Amino acid sequence: MAGHSGSRAEIAGIEHKPLTTEQLAAASLDPCIFIDRHCYIRGKGGRQERFRITGKWGFQSEVVQCFDEEDLTLVLKARQLGISWSADAYALWLTSCNQGQTVIILSQGQRESKEEMRRIRYMHKRLPPELKRRTGVEAQDSHAPDTTEHLEFPDMDSRIISLPSTEHAGTSYTATLVIIHELAKITMAASLVAAITPTMADSGRMIIVSTALGFSGTFYDYWQNNADRWHTGQIVGDRGIEGTFRPVFIPWSARPGRTQAWYEATKRNLGEKKMKQEYPATPTEAFQGAAEQVFDEFDRYSHVLDASRHPGSNYEVIGCCDMGVSHAYGHLIEVQGPMAFIFDEVHVENGTVEDLGTAMADLMRHHGLDPSEIMVYPDPAGVARNPQTLQTDIDVLKECGLLVDDSSNKVSPAQRVEIIKNKLKRNHFWLSQDCPGLADALEKAEWKTRAGPGGTKIREDTYAKDGLYEHPLDSAGYGLSRIYPPNTAVAIETEVAVATPVGSYSGSEYGG
């Protein structure tokens, strides 16, 4: 069973005691045992060291178990956590200890694909003789550099193929496992996944491991589509229905030895945005790092509650809305002193003001509220009269049965932004999961800019008018700025200091 052992210099210091029948069986059946007890990696300074994935590095064992149990695994991670090594080690176990396996590893480019294979061959050379399979692809010179991108184990009818990402990479094989590294940085990510998926065997599986690169792209879409099953404090998220990815997030602090002092020192060198991208504490931070978003205080996992308004609540409720041309939004806000809970929204696409007003009234009745008693704050520009109908938008909303504030009191966009940012900073602002449009806008809205001298861009104090995210932000801003006017917002904020919503919105009482 033993294959080519490599040069003595490469495996210096490793003395393998013969494995017992029980030890061999355990390593063959369990990838975590195979890796933790028998694999070596290049450590600090290039020194070989045991690949310990238990104990302080237990998160790696948890991730490897997920690789082995799930058909589809999606890993969002901070840097330098050993997850790429873990995926490569899992591929080595799968092909060394299981018959008929074909693992395709796709990386960003040729250099990266060769590095993945170098890691696998490095671990293979240092395995105990009882676990090291005979290879079918060998360099003629045993001291030649490891540049082969195929590693085959003929006795197992298994192989590992490492390729750079192209539109048709790996499509000539039938894969039992596909591993894609750094999907967020692959330009043709969508077409790559679309091309490789049909080549997977009926029981084929896929592992995607990547850092983040802003609020867009295939990797971000995959994460968002599955992120509701990951919760703060988890490494591996909850299992979803068949055909969905199991989300895994690993923060910077998972690595042993990383302290807050280390984080602050590293941040001084990298800057805050780069630090969030490379060493995130939450998934939101990971995606924020490559974006220039307005509300960087917003974290979907902290500010979005799996809850709605309690039907017996006595807190005041107000409504607000913005009549966009293609996207109109309305929101309902429960006012808890200095705290605001936006508990529902309506989104009308390519509709009329009447459509928005009717939807708002229906939403209020859905929550047991009387539309004639809930004050609604619309876009102040709604007082303008339509030359065809001779009606204002506010007139139309009133005809829908809404109680509408028709004063011309205006708050500037910059002031609305500042009110929202202050609320987020102080944990005085939450929204329900029933407000997906507002959550997306708070997460993704970018600063408005104007042309400056020499082709530079000057950032303004409000968000860009992009035709989508502006409307839920406008709607929420109209309501919050009337509850907490700019000249009193600071005073209101300092009256009460609380860290959670009044009346706790967690637990079955609130449906969360």
pLDDT at 225 exceeding the cut of 70: yes
Instruction: Name the H helices within 15-162.
Output: 21-29, 31-38, 58-69, 83-97, 110-125
Share of the chain above pLDDT 90, in %: 61
Q: What are the strands of the beta sheet with 246-250, ordered from one edge?
A: 150-153, 158-164, 102-107, 175-181, 200-210, 72-77, 246-250
Quick one: 130 and 191 in the same domain? yes
Inside any domain, residue 28: yes
Residue with tokens 């890993």: 75
Domain boundary residue, one of 245, 268, 288: 288
What gap in Å lies between CA 250 and CA 114, rounded to an integer? 25
| pLDDT tens-digit readout, 246-262 | 999 999 999 999 999 99
Among 294, 295, 349, 360, smallest CA distance to 324 is for: 349
What's the angle, vertex CA 228, arms to CA 61 and CA 301, rounded to 5? Answer: 90
Inside any domain, residue 92: yes
State residue 138's pLDDT score. 45
State residue 377's pLDDT score. 95
Quick one: 374 and 470 in the same domain? yes
DSSP β-ladder status, 200-210 and 246-250: unpaired
> At 393, which helix (H) or strand (E)?
helix 393-399
Instruction: Please enumerate in sequence order all residues whose Cβ is within 8 A of that of 325, keeping only pairs 6 or more positions apart, or say none.
Output: 467
Quick one: 372 and 463 in the same domain? yes
The CATH number covering residue 413 comes to 3.30.420.280
What gap in Å lies between CA 88 and CA 153, rounded to an integer? 16
Inside any domain, residue 301: no
Whole-model pTM: value is 0.71
State residue 273's pLDDT score. 79
Quick one: 247 and 341 in the same domain? no
Inside any domain, residue 302: no
What gap in Å lies between CA 50 and CA 123, rounded to an integer? 10
pLDDT band at 270 (very low <50, low <70, confident <90, very high): confident
Count of beta carbons in the 10 Å neighbourhood of residue 304: 21
Share of the chain above pLDDT 70, in %: 87
| pLDDT tens-digit readout, 79-124 | 999 999 999 999 999 999 999 999 999 998 888 999 999 999 999 9
State residue 139's pLDDT score. 37
| The pair of three-digit structure tokens given for residue 36, joined into one six-digit string | 């933790």
| pLDDT tens-digit readout, 327-372 | 999 999 999 999 999 999 999 999 999 999 999 999 999 999 999 9
238 or 387, which is more confident?
238
Under DSSP, is residue 176 helix (H, G, I), strand (E, B) or coil? strand
What gap in Å lies between CA 91 and CA 74, rounded to an integer? 16
Residue 137 near residue 161 (C-beta atoms within 8 A): no
Average pLDDT over residues 478-487: 90
Inside any domain, residue 46: yes
Among 106, 83, 111, 308, smallest CA distance to 196 is for: 106
| pLDDT tens-digit readout, 151-164 | 999 999 999 999 88
pLDDT at 511 exceeding the cut of 90: no
pLDDT at 390 exceeding the cut of 70: no
What does the mean pLDDT of the chain come to?
A: 86
pLDDT at 36 exceeding the cut of 60: yes
Quick one: 325 and 213 in the same domain? no
Total domains in the chain come to: 2
Quick one: 321 and 281 in the same domain? no
φ/ψ of residue 400, rounded to 5: -80, 0
Quick one: 210 and 347 in the same domain? no
41-45, 130-134, 166-170, 254-258, range with the lowest pLDDT = 166-170
The CATH number covering residue 69 comes to 3.40.50.300
Specify whether the backbone of 429 is left (phi greater than 0), alpha (psi in -120 to 50) or beta: beta
Quick one: 357 and 429 in the same domain? yes
State residue 492's pLDDT score. 42
pLDDT band at 432 (very low <50, low <70, confident <90, very high): very high
Average pLDDT over residues 23-47: 93
Inside any domain, residue 137: yes
Average pLDDT over residues 274-294: 84
Specify whether the backbone of 449 is left (phi greater than 0), alpha (psi in -120 to 50) or beta: beta
pLDDT at 188 exceeding the cut of 90: no
Average pLDDT over residues 301-326: 92
Residue 133 near residue 92 (C-beta atoms within 8 A): no
Average pLDDT over residues 11-29: 88
Among 261, 225, 256, 270, smallest CA distance to 243 is for: 225
Quick one: 110 and 222 in the same domain? yes
pLDDT band at 170 (very low <50, low <70, confident <90, very high): low
State residue 195's pLDDT score. 85
State residue 465's pLDDT score. 87
Quick one: 127 and 55 in the same domain? yes
Inside any domain, residue 12: no
Average pLDDT over residues 32-44: 93
Quick one: 357 and 485 in the same domain? yes
Residue type, 423: K
**CA-to-CA separations, 146 to 35, 92, 149, 232, in angstroms, rounded:** 21, 16, 9, 41
124-138, 341-355, 472-486, range with the lowest pLDDT = 124-138
Quick one: 276 and 360 in the same domain? no
State residue 456's pLDDT score. 78
The domain containing residue 284 runs over which residues?
Answer: 21-288
What's the angle, vertex CA 372, arms to CA 366 and CA 377, rounded to 5? Answer: 90
b/e 44-70 (16+ beta carbons within 10 angstroms → b): eeeebeebbbeeebebbbbbbbbbeeb
Instruction: Please enumerate in sequence order all residues whose Cβ is within 8 A of that of 451, keeping only pairs 6 or more positions apart, or say none.
Output: 457, 458
Inside any domain, residue 323: yes
Residue type, 98: N
Instruction: Name the H helices within 170-282.
Output: 189-196, 218-226, 260-270, 272-278
